[in-house]
Chains A and B, each alone.
Chain A
Amino acid sequence: MKKTLRFTLNGHPQEVEVSPDLTLLQLLREHFQLTGAKEGCGVGECGACTVMVDGRALSSCLLPALEVEGCQVLTVEGLAGPDGSLDPIQEAFVEHGAIQCGFCTPGMVMSAKALLERNPHPDENQIRTALEGNLCRCTGYTQIIEAVKSAAARKS
């Protein structure tokens, strides 16, 4: 039986009927057409589906959509300003070439965003820990770590 779910998505209040088996990832991609978050593994081990819920990065493939009742959900689509200006993390990813095929990128960016909101001046270890759940098969990670470092420096 479907239930009514109310939550805030990228700053906008939403009310939607969802079935009990629907994951947050499916809700985002299939109902809201927000296809930034990806399904990589479907079991919480690759980070491609990372979004922020009430300020914390988590795997949206593991979370039933009904669990975000009353929560603030932020996806990569919610990062850019109303004028289309990119978040400093996104800018840094572009500048550092921290991207190749792009499949992992929205998840990487959201993990970095959650880190910098909690800890605006992370050291390299803290950056690596925040991103340890995001797998990338192309870049070799170095550019990504550099991008997050430079975004953190830019914020200060």
Chain B
Amino acid sequence: MFFARRSWATGCVAVALLGGCAHSVRTEAAKLSPALEQPAKLIRLEREALIVLPTGYKRRLKPDSKWRHVGSIAQGQVFRSVDSVLTIEGRQVHEAYLVISGGALLGFYLPGESNYAALEAPVPLFIGDTQ
């Protein structure tokens, strides 16, 4: 009886762990309207930005990193990394572009799924050297 209960409890814990401790990234559908300007607008982050995702994972946007305007969605303007790659992570990993409005990062556009993932609170960005 004791062993049966212990096995059952162990099984439950294993299932819970196997199911993944991380939360899924919460998303909503987003339609990207591609940018028309040529050449594409570039922005540069003057300072680093530390971001805590709603899933608990953290991301650091490097100072002096460059981002290219690729279009807009309802939530803001969308920028992708020029020479690097950004991902956000929960139960899965998603390539991510910045969604910026009013000088703050509001969330991420996930190009692999055409979805938007919002941050819990906007993160102010120090944007410089636009062209």
Pairing of A with B: no
- Interface residues, chain A, with chain B CB atoms under 8 Å away: none
